[in-house]
Every structure is written in structure tokens, then in C-alpha cells.
């Protein structure tokens, strides 16, 4: 029998990866479909600078594998994928409404290049927003393929997912505080939010409203006004990472926890929305050895996909979809409790949970190998 690797033990075993130089933009467009065992692969479109396009490929492979675990742990009938467009260091894209005025690359051309690669996958994969893209961009991609989540509500999509991702993170933070300090109350605790992008800023605002003591950081100095607005201490990201806090909230790019940075940490627990926070899976054990509770990123950051799929695929109301986000707190609580009882890391428990769900689906599929991938029907739009 042809035994497929479902990508959990080997995170680099992908179903397919398409790499194409966009004919309009001349940029490398990478779409990695990690797994469709649970259903249509979903994952955002990242447009970011990389020293070499091969670094963007590595990122796409790791981010898509993480999406497979994110959707599996969230109990969604979807697999994992990701799109990455590699910009040269320092390159910027114009906004569509700023054409002719900027000096950057034509954004619309880049997005149409992305759309054509996705369209070529015939519904095996659908994209959404990620670092460097937003709902307006999803609308441009939707001009050439229907496999797009999170278009603006006026265009029939579920809109910006970042507030929902943040709501899920806050639910996770409650569970983490409960496990680490015996109470889910956040008002009496000290947090460091590292990264004030769309999700990080929402989380910081929520924590400030809850009365928490806050340290915030971003590589972009223009974000400092938010620190003043929230009465937070502003630090540069490296110092914020090492700040003495109860909970560290990584909300920027991945790879922040490494054998070099783990010994410098002065937090009791970590939970945040950044994808792929660990440089490699083994770093979870280093955090564990230091007695730092790490809530796995792919569990904590699922709010955006949970909300978008609930509204666009399952036609739930906003209230119903938002209601699902609280369950992220329950899942984090379960993962942390199981890890404590079994003496393993929360990461190991969450990986096993994802693997169990994917293996069960794979076993079911083995009985019916002809079953097509259940592609979603985003926003009830007609088929192609
Ligand atoms: N950026 C989101 C994530 O990492 C991706 C996404 C959100 C995809 C919403 C589809 C819908 O989870």
C-alpha cells in the first residue's frame, strides 16, 4: 500500500509546492500545499522581504505545515497551506490606490500573479490575509480566483480576521494565567507584547482595558504612540523579549525562541499569535527545562481561521463564529493540563492531538480513496 506521510512527523513532507516567477511582477510566488487530508488546505498569503528567495521557500514550507496542525487542533475540516511572495530586502509594494505616485512595485500585479497560481490548484487550497496583506488585497486576488477568505464584508467576505485572532489569543492568555498562576484574571499581571501589528495591537488594547501592566515593542518606531495611548512601557523588541514579566506575548515574525534566546528569558509563561515562534521543534524542550510554560502557537493563533471558516464556509452568524473563539481557551487549558499530568511538553501534547485527528481522517480516506478533497464554497459564491 502506498503509505503517505501526513506531514506531522516530517514537517517538510508536503503534498505539493508550486513556485513560479510571477509574469507581471517578476517576483517568486510560492504556494505550499502541506496537507489536504482533513479537507481543502487553507493559509494566508505573506508578502515579505527575504535575503534569498530560498528563505521564502523555507518559510512557506514551515508555515504551511503549521497551518495543518492549526486547523487540525481547532477541529476544522481543513488542511494546511501557505502562500509566500518574496520581496527583495527593502522593497515595498504600492497600494492599489496609490498607483503612479509611489516608487514601489505594482501591488495589483503581484496579487494577480498570486491568484493565478492559486487558481491553478483547482480548489485544493484557499488563501487569506497574513503578514503584508489585508482584506483589500484579498479582493484583488478574488478578481482571478474564488479561493480566497476574508474579503471585505461589503464584497461578501468575512473581513479582517485580526480582531478574531486577537480574541482567541486573549482566551488563550486566560487559560495560561490560570495554569501558571492559579487564576485566569489578567488585570493583576504583567505582560510584554512583542509586535504591534494588527493582531498584537488588539491584544495589547485588550490587556490594557483589563488593567494589566504592559510592556510593548515593535521594530517600527512609529508604533510608539500606542504605548503612550495604553499607558504601556515602550521597549525595543530585544529588550521586551527579555523583560521580567509574567507572560510574554510574541506577536511579530517567527523564530524568536532559539537555544541562544531561551536562557535570556525572564517570563513565567509564553502565549502569542506569531506563527512558528520556535526556531525548531526541539526548542520546546528547552523552554520546558527552564520551567517556562509555552502555549503552542498553532493552538493560540487559530482565531482567524476559525472565524473565517465559520462565517464563509459554514454560514454562521458573527455571534456564532465569535462564540467559537472562547474554545481556544478550553483547548489551551486541556493541552497544558495533559502536559502537566503526563510530564511532557505542551508542544508534544498539541502535536499528538493534531496527529490523531489527521491519522483518523487518513484512515477514513483509505476506505474511500476516490473521495475528492472537500473544497469549501467561500461566501456562497457560485462555482467557477
Ligand atoms: N494568517 C492566518 C493564519 O496564520 C491565515 C488565515 C486567516 C487564512 C483567515 C484564512 C483565513 O492563521
Mutate to test the pocket of ligand 1, among 41, 42, 43 (most ligand atoms within 8 A of CB): 43
Whole-angstrom Cα distance, residue 105 to residue 242?
Answer: 37
pLDDT number for residue 377: 41
Q: Any residues with Cβ below 6 Å from ligand 1, and which?
A: 42-44, 128-130, 149-150, 161, 275, 301, 304-305, 308
Whole-angstrom Cα distance, residue 82 to residue 103?
Answer: 28
pLDDT number for residue 133: 95
For the sheet with 233-235, list strands across it.
233-235, 213-217, 190-194, 244-250, 266-270, 293-294
Sign of CA dihedral 266, 268, 270, 271: negative
Whole-angstrom Cα distance, residue 200 to residue 41?
Answer: 25
Distance 88 CA to ligand 1 centre (A): 24
Task: Judge contact between 357 and 74, C-beta under 8 A.
Answer: no
| CB burial string 201-217: b at 16+ within 10 A, e below | bbbbbbbbebebbbbbb
Whole-angstrom Cα distance, residue 337 to residue 121?
Answer: 40
* Greatest extent of the chain over all pairs of C-alpha atoms, in Å: 62
pLDDT band at 372 (very low <50, low <70, confident <90, very high): low
Report the 10 Å Cβ neighbour count for 67.
Answer: 29
The pLDDT of residue 384 is above 60 = no
Pick from 73, 66, 71: nearest CA to 32: 66
319 against 4, higher pLDDT: 319
Pick from 22, 129, 40, 124: nearest CA to 76: 40
The pLDDT of residue 339 is above 50 = yes
pLDDT number for residue 194: 97
pLDDT number for residue 170: 98
Q: Residues 37-41: what's their mean pLDDT?
A: 96
SS3 142: coil
The pLDDT of residue 253 is above 90 = no
Residue 376 in grid coordinates: 469549501
For cell 472562547, the residue is: 326
pLDDT band at 365 (very low <50, low <70, confident <90, very high): confident
Distance 305 CA to ligand 1 centre (A): 5
pLDDT number for residue 95: 74
Q: Residues 281-288: what's their mean pLDDT?
A: 96
Q: Residues 304-325: what's their mean pLDDT?
A: 96
Mean pLDDT over the full length of the chain: 91
Question: Which residues belong to the active site?
Answer: 82
Residues listed for the chain: 384
pTM, to two decimals: 0.91
The pLDDT of residue 335 is above 50 = yes
DSSP 222: G
The pLDDT of residue 53 is above 90 = yes
pLDDT number for residue 102: 58
Residue 93 in grid coordinates: 509594494
pLDDT number for residue 124: 97
Task: Judge contact between 321 and 278, C-beta under 8 A.
Answer: no
Whole-angstrom Cα distance, residue 349 to residue 352?
Answer: 5
| Minimum-distance ligand 1 atom for the alpha carbon of 131 | 1
Query: What proportion of the chain, given as a percentage, has pLDDT over 70?
Result: 90
Pick from 86, 71, 64, 57: nearest CA to 15: 64
pLDDT number for residue 369: 65
Mutate to test the pocket of ligand 1, among 71, 73, 84, 129 (most ligand atoms within 8 A of CB): 129
pLDDT number for residue 171: 98
The pLDDT of residue 374 is above 60 = no
Q: Residues 25-47: what's their mean pLDDT?
A: 97
Distance 342 CA to ligand 1 centre (A): 31
Q: Whose CA is nearest to atom 1 of ligand 1?
A: 130
Residue 61 in grid coordinates: 514550507
Q: Whose CA is nearest to atom 10 of ligand 1?
A: 128
pLDDT number for residue 103: 61
Q: Residues 238-242: what's their mean pLDDT?
A: 96
pLDDT number for residue 254: 85
Distance 232 CA to ligand 1 centre (A): 28
pLDDT number for residue 306: 98
The pLDDT of residue 354 is above 50 = yes
Residues 87-125 pLDDT 10s: 999 888 877 554 555 567 799 999 999 999 999 999 999
Whole-angstrom Cα distance, residue 325 to residue 85?
Answer: 29
Amino acid at each position: 500500500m502506498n503509505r503517505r506521510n501526513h506531514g506531522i512527523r516530517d514537517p517538510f513532507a508536503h503534498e505539493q509546492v508550486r513556485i513560479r516567477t510571477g509574469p507581471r511582477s517578476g517576483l517568486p510566488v510560492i504556494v505550499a500545499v502541506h496537507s489536504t487530508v482533513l479537507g481543502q488546505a487553507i493559509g494566508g498569503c505573506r508578502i515579505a522581504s527575504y535575503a534569498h528567495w530560498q528563505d521564502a521557500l523555507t518559510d512557506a514550507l514551515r508555515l504551511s505545515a503549521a497551518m495543518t496542525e492549526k486547523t487540525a487542533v481547532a477541529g476544522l475540516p481543513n488542511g494546511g497551506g501557505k502562500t509566500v511572495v518574496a520581496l527583495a530586502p527593502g522593497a515595498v509594494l504600492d497600494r492599489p490606490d496609490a498607483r503612479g505616485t509611489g516608487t514601489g512595485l505594482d501591488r495589483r500585479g503581484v496579487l494577480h500573479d498570486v491568484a493565478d497560481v492559486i487558481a491553478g490548484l483547482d480548489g485544493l487550497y484557499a488563501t487569506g490575509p497574513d503578514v503584508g496583506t489585508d482584506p483589500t488585497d484579498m479582493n484583488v486576488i478574488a478578481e482571478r480566483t474564488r479561493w480566497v477568505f476574508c474579503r471585505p464584508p461589503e464584497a461578501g467576505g468575512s473581513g479582517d480576521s485580526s480582531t478574531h485572532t486577537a480574541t482567541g489569543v486573549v482566551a488563550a492568555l486566560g487559560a495560561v494565567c490560570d495554569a501558571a498562576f492559579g487564576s485566569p484574571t489578567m488585570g493583576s499581571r504583567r505582560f510584554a507584547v512583542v509586535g504591534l501589528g494588527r493582531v498584537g495591537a488588539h491584544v495589547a488594547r485588550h490587556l490594557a482595558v483589563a488593567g494589566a501592566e504592559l510592556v510593548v515593542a515593535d521594530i517600527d518606531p512609529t508604533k510608539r504612540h500606542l504605548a503612550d495611548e495604553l499607558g504601556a512601557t515602550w521597549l525595543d523588541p530585544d529588550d521586551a523579549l527579555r523583560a521580567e514579566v509574567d507572560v510574554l506575548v510574541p506577536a511579530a515574525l517567527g523564530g524568536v525562541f532559539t537555544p541562544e534566546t531561551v536562557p535570556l528569558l525572564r517570563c513565567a509563561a509564553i502565549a502569542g499569535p506569531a506563527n512558528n515562534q520556535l526556531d525548531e521543534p526541539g526548542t520546546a524542550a528547552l523552554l520546558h527545562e527552564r520551567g517556562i510554560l509555552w502555549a503552542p502557537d498553532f493552538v493560540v493563533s487559530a482565531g482567524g481561521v476559525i472565524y473565517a471558516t465559520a462565517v464563509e464556509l459554514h454560514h454562521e452568524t458573527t455571534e456564532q463564529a465569535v462564540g467559537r473563539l472562547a474554545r481556544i481557551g478550553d483547548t489551551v487549558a486541556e493541552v497544558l493540563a495533559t502536559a502537566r499530568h503526563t510530564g511532557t511538553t505542551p508542544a508534544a501534547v498539541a502535536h499528538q492531538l493534531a496527529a490523531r485527528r489527521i491519522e483518523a481522517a487518513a484512515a477514513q480516506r483509505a476506505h474511500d480513496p476516490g473521495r475528492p478533497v472537500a473544497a469549501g464554497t467561500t461566501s456562497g459564491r457560485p462555482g467557477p
